[in-house]
Chains A and B, each alone.
Chain A
Amino acid sequence: MVIYLIVLFAVTLVYFASAERLVTYIRLIGAQGLLLCGIALFELREVNTINMIFIVSETIAFKAFLIPYLLNRIIRASGVTKVHRQAIPGFYLLIFSVLALIISVLLADSLVNPFVNTIYMTIALFSLFTGLLLIVTHKLIISHLIGFLIMENAVFVFSLAVGNEMPVLINIGILLDIFVGVLILGFFGLRLKPHTNELTLLKD
C-alpha cells in the first residue's frame, strides 16, 4: 500500500512542474499532506501509539489543512492567481524535473544504506530537487514558499524512511512544519497588502 502512496506522491511532484495556477499548487500541497499522512500510517509500525497519533494528526492538521488554508488566504488577498512570472518556460522546467528524477535515482543508488529504503531515498531527493527547481525558476515569492514546502515534505519523507529507528527525527520534521505555519501566517498572512505585488514579486 505504501508503494501506491509513494507513486502518487511522485506524480504530484511531476504535476508541480507542469501546473500554472497557484490554486493547483495549493491543492497539490494539500494532497501531498494527505499522502504523507497515509505513508506515515502504514510505514511507522514500531513507533508507540501516542507518538503515532501525534504524527498522524499533526500531518493532517498542518500539512493537509492549515498550510493550504493559509496559502489560499494569501492568494485571495494578493489577487495573484497565476504563476506567469517564470525565469524559464514550463516545458524546460518539466525536462529538468525528469532529469532531477534520474539524478535522484542515481544518487539514492550510490548512497545505498541498509537502514534506509531506496524508494524513500529516491522520492525524498526528487522532492528536494523539485522544490529547489521551483525556487530557482519562479520569480514570485509565493512560488518560493511553495518550493520550500515541497523541500520540507522531502525532509518528512526521509524522516519517515528512518522513522522506525529514529522516531525523534519525525518530531523534528514536525517542528519544521510548525515553523513554516508560523512563517506563512506571520510573514505573509498578516502583512500582505491586498491587490499589490509588494510581497508577491521578488525584487532583484
Chain B
Amino acid sequence: MAGFLLILISAIFFPGIILRTKSIASGRKGQGVFQPVRDASLLLKKGSVFSTTTGLIFQIAPVITLSTIVCAIMVIPFANQTALISFEGDFVFFSYMLALGRFFAIISALDTGSSFEGMGASREAFFSMLIEPAFFILIAAFSMFTGFTSFSDIFSHFFITGNHYVLIYSIIGFYVFIQTALIENSRLPVDDPKTHLELTMIHEVMILDNSGFDKALIHIGTWLKFAIYGSLMYNVIVPSGWNIFLQILLFLGVQSLFAVIVGLLESFRARNKMNKNPKFILSVSAIAMIAFVIILILTHKLNQ
C-alpha cells in the first residue's frame, strides 16, 4: 500500500519538477512546481466537448486508460512490502494493462475520424511495439537472475542473490527503464510534447480532440506512468532490505532525480528525426538483450 501511495504522491510533483528544471535551464523565471496540478484541477472542473463524428469509444477511452494505469501501479512493490496485487508472472499483467490503456487511446484517436490523429495513433502503436521487447527481455533477465517471476519477488531478492555482478543489471535496468519511460510517455528524443506542428507529433496529436475533464485524465495518466517507471528504476538501484524511512526518502529522491533528468534532456537534447526513431528504440532492446545474454552465461543456464 505504501508503494501505491508513494507513486501517487510522486506523480503529483513529477510534471512540476520537469517544468521547473526546464525553466531554470533556459534562464526563465517559469511556473511553480504545482502549476500542472492547478491546470489539471481547472480542467477537471470543466465539462468535455465531443465532436459529432466521435462515438462511445472516444468518450470512455480516457477513463479506461487511466484505470488501466492505476491497475498497473498495483503490481509495483516498494521496499520489502509485497505489492497490492502480486502473483507469478505479474509483469505480463503490468505490461498488458499499460498496453490495453494504449490500445484504447489509439482507437479513440482513430474514432475522431481525423487523419492527423490516425497518423499519430499509427506512430504511437509502432513505437510502443518496438519498445515492448526491451521491457520483456529486461524483466526476463531479472527473472532468470533472481529465479522469480513476480515483481515483488524479483525486486525483494534482487540484491540478496549473492551475485557480484548485480551492479551491471542495476545500471542496465536503470538505463532501459529511463528510455522506456521516455518512449512510452512520448517525450524527447522520440517525441516533443511542446511541438506545435501536427505532422511531427506522436502522442500530442492523438489527444487534440480531447478537452476538459477527459484531457485532465489523460494528463494524470501520463504523470502516473512516469511515476511507475521511476518506481521501477528505484527498485533496481536501492536494495529492498534497507530501513523503510530511508527508503521513502530515497524513493522521493529517485523520482525527483528522474524528473530532473527528463527536464534536462528536454532542455538540451534535440528531437530525433522521425525516421531515426525506430533505430533508436530498437537499440534499447539490443542493450536489454546484452544484459539477458550476460545473465544467461553467468548463471550457467546455457551449458546445463
Which A residues fall within an 8 A CB radius of B?
3-4, 6-7, 10-11, 14-15, 17-18, 90-91, 94-95, 97-98, 101-102, 105, 108-109, 112, 118-119, 122
Which residue in chain A gives the minimum CB-CB distance to B303? A112
Check A94–B293 contact: CB distance below 8 A: no
A65 vs B260: C-alpha distance in the bound complex, in angstroms? 36
Excluding A7-B168, A18-B282, 6 further A-B contacts by CB distance (< 8 Å) are A10-B293, A18-B283, A91-B278, A98-B285, A105-B297, A105-B302
Check A109–B286 contact: CB distance below 8 A: no
A22 vs B85: C-alpha distance in the bound complex, in angstroms? 50
Q: Is the interface of A mostly helix, strand, loop or mixed?
A: helix
Q: How far is the CB of A84 from chain B (nearest CB, A)?
A: 13
Check A4–B297 contact: CB distance below 8 A: no
Which residue in chain B gives the minimum CB-CB distance to A90? B279
Question: Hey, which chain A residues are within 8 Å of B291, CB to CB?
Answer: 7
Check B168–A91 contact: CB distance below 8 A: no
Check B283–A94 contact: CB distance below 8 A: yes
| Contact of B290 with A by CB under 8 A | yes
Check B297–A118 contact: CB distance below 8 A: yes
**Interface range on chain B (Cβ under 8 Å from partner):** 20 to 34
Residue of A3, A90, A105, A108 touching B298 (CB-CB under 8 A):
A3
Question: Hey, which chain B residues are within 8 Å of A11, CB to CB?
Answer: 287, 290
Q: Which 6 A-B pairs have the closest CB atoms?
A: A109-B302, A14-B286, A18-B283, A10-B290, A94-B282, A91-B279
Residue of A3, A94, A122 touching B168 (CB-CB under 8 A):
A3
Q: Is the interface of B mostly helix, strand, loop or mixed?
A: helix
| Contact of B289 with A by CB under 8 A | yes
Which B residues fall within an 8 A CB radius of A?
165, 167-168, 172, 278-280, 282-283, 285-287, 289-291, 293-294, 296-298, 302-303
Q: How far is the CB of A73 from chain B (nearest CB, A)?
A: 28
Q: How far is the CB of B230 from chain A (nearest CB, A)?
A: 23
Check B290–A101 contact: CB distance below 8 A: yes
Check B290–A14 contact: CB distance below 8 A: yes
Q: How far is the CB of B130 from chain A (nearest CB, A)?
A: 9
Residue of B165, B287, B294 touching A14 (CB-CB under 8 A):
B287
Check B168–A105 contact: CB distance below 8 A: no
Question: Hey, which chain A residues are within 8 Å of B167, CB to CB?
Answer: 4
Residue of A98, A102, A122 touching B297 (CB-CB under 8 A):
A122
Residue of B168, B285, B293, B298 touching A4 (CB-CB under 8 A):
B168
Question: Hey, which chain A residues are within 8 Å of B172, CB to CB?
Answer: 7
14 A-B contacts, Cβ less than 8 Å apart? A4-B167, A7-B291, A10-B290, A14-B290, A15-B283, A18-B279, A18-B286, A98-B282, A98-B289, A101-B289, A102-B293, A105-B293, A112-B303, A118-B302
A118 vs B296: C-alpha distance in the bound complex, in angstroms? 10
Q: How far is the CB of B41 from chain A (nearest CB, A)?
A: 42
With A101-B289, A105-B293, A119-B297: A91-B302 Cβ-Cβ less than 8 Å:
no
Q: How far is the CB of A31 from chain B (nearest CB, A)?
A: 15
Q: How far is the CB of A113 from chain B (nearest CB, A)?
A: 11
Residue of B278, B280, B286, B294 touching A97 (CB-CB under 8 A):
B286
Which residue in chain B gives the minimum CB-CB distance to A112? B303
Residue of B165, B278, B286 touching A98 (CB-CB under 8 A):
B286
Residue of A7, A18, A98, A102 touching B294 (CB-CB under 8 A):
A7
With A3-B168, A109-B303: A91-B293 Cβ-Cβ less than 8 Å:
no
A119 vs B165: C-alpha distance in the bound complex, in angstroms? 14
Check B297–A14 contact: CB distance below 8 A: no
Check B297–A7 contact: CB distance below 8 A: no
Question: Hey, which chain B residues are within 8 Å of A98, CB to CB?
Answer: 282, 285-286, 289
Which residue in chain B gives the minimum CB-CB distance to A93? B279
Residue of A3, A97, A101, A109 touching B165 (CB-CB under 8 A):
A3
Q: How far is the CB of B272 from chain A (nearest CB, A)?
A: 11
A112 vs B283: C-alpha distance in the bound complex, in angstroms? 29
Question: Hey, which chain B residues are within 8 Å of A90, CB to CB?
Answer: 279
Question: Hey, which chain B residues are within 8 Å of A122, CB to CB?
Answer: 293, 297
A114 vs B73: C-alpha distance in the bound complex, in angstroms? 46
Check A105–B296 contact: CB distance below 8 A: yes
Check B293–A18 contact: CB distance below 8 A: no
Which residue in chain B gives the minimum CB-CB distance to A118? B297
Question: Hey, which chain A residues are within 8 Å of B285, CB to CB?
Answer: 98
A10 vs B296: C-alpha distance in the bound complex, in angstroms? 15
A91 vs B275: C-alpha distance in the bound complex, in angstroms? 9
Candidate in A7, A11, A15, A17 with the most chain B CB atoms within 10 angstroms: A7
